């Protein structure tokens, strides 16, 4: 798995209490899992000298006024 994104848009009735027109929260993960029997750093790397790929987690919100 390379990328996973999960998001939720809050209902307008709930968001209007905070004086917003819309609110969406989300989380995105890059390279969260590697499914392999390979025991080196990275099964997709071309050589043993290549550093492993990083896992990244991004969390955010989109606000509409």
Length of the chain counted residue by residue: 65
| 60, 25 Cβ separation under 8 angstroms | yes
Tell me the per-residue pLDDT of 15-57, one tens digit each, with 9 for 90 and over: 988 888 999 999 999 988 877 777 666 666 666 666 667 889 9
| 3, 32 Cβ separation under 8 angstroms | no
- Please give, one letter per residue, the 3-state secondary structure of the chain: CCEEEEEEECCHHHHHHHCCCEEEEEEEEECCCCCCCCCCCCCCCCCCCCCCCCCEEEEEEEEEC
pTM score of the predicted model: 0.71
């Amino acid at each position: 798995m390379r990328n996973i994104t999960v998001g939720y848009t809050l209902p307008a009735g709930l968001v209007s209490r905070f004086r917003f027109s819309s609110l969406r929260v989300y989380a995105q993960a890059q390279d969260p899992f590697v499914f392999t029997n390979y025991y080196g750093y990275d099964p997709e790397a071309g050589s043993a000298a290549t550093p492993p790929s990083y896992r990244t987690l991004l969390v955010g919100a989109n606000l509409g006024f």
